[in-house]
Amino acid sequence: GSAMHIHQSIVDMKTRKSVFSNPDGTPTDLFFSHIAGLQRYLPQAMALLAPNVNSYRRISRFQLAPINVHWGYDNRTAGLRVPTSDPESRRIENRIAGADANPYIAIATSLVCGYLGMVEGLKPTEPVTGSAHDLPFSLPRSLDEATRTLRACEPLVRTLGEAFVAAYTIVKESEYEVFLQVISSWEREHLLLNV
């Protein structure tokens, strides 16, 4: 499946400088906390980044899409990639969102997850240098799981808005229930003769 890679950096409105880089060019604590927030909260926000039952087919070891929220420097197997750049252009690429996500919701969600990490002063895992596909899954595997996870994440519900999350999850739960009523051709082909 196709992805919607979201590149994010944050500029201080007073200094007009990136909050991700120190004056000497090294990454700031806010940079690492932003990554940690993405690691902690993107799995709970997955229903907003993969909004359809079919969205979860791309989250597989057999696809190029990420299967977890590990991060790495210019590592295209990781869910979170820090592209090679000069310090002023330091950014984080969220490679998890699908092309079927609403871009406004996906961008807002990604920024909220990073923001929560900055506010909470979270610390990220160590960067991955090998293939992140060799590491365990850490993302929901279905719309049903993702919807339940989003609804249960109090910091996301509070920050995104209770009314929005309630309305969104009700719609997604209804879509999933309708999906369960459909018998797929795979089920007919592989299960009909065995039942």
Question: Which secondary structure element, helix H or strand E, spans residue 146, and what is its range?
Answer: helix 143-152
- Residues with Cβ within 8 Å of 7's Cβ and at least 6 positions away in sequence, in order, are 83, 91, 92, 93, 94
The domains of the chain are located at 6-194
Its pTM stands at 0.92
pLDDT in tens, the chain (195 residues): 678 999 999 999 999 999 999 999 999 999 999 999 999 999 999 999 999 999 999 888 777 889 999 999 999 999 999 999 999 999 999 999 999 999 999 999 999 999 999 999 999 999 999 999 999 999 999 999 999 999 999 999 999 999 999 999 999 999 999 998 998 888 888 888 776
The pLDDT value recorded for residue 1 is 64
- Residues with Cβ within 8 Å of 67's Cβ and at least 6 positions away in sequence, in order, are 59, 60, 61, 79, 132, 133, 135, 137, 138, 139
- Residues with Cβ within 8 Å of 164's Cβ and at least 6 positions away in sequence, in order, are none
Per CATH, the homologous superfamily of domain 6-194 is: Glutamine synthetase/guanido kinase, catalytic domain (3.30.590.10)
In the numeric block, the tokens 């293939």 are attached to 131
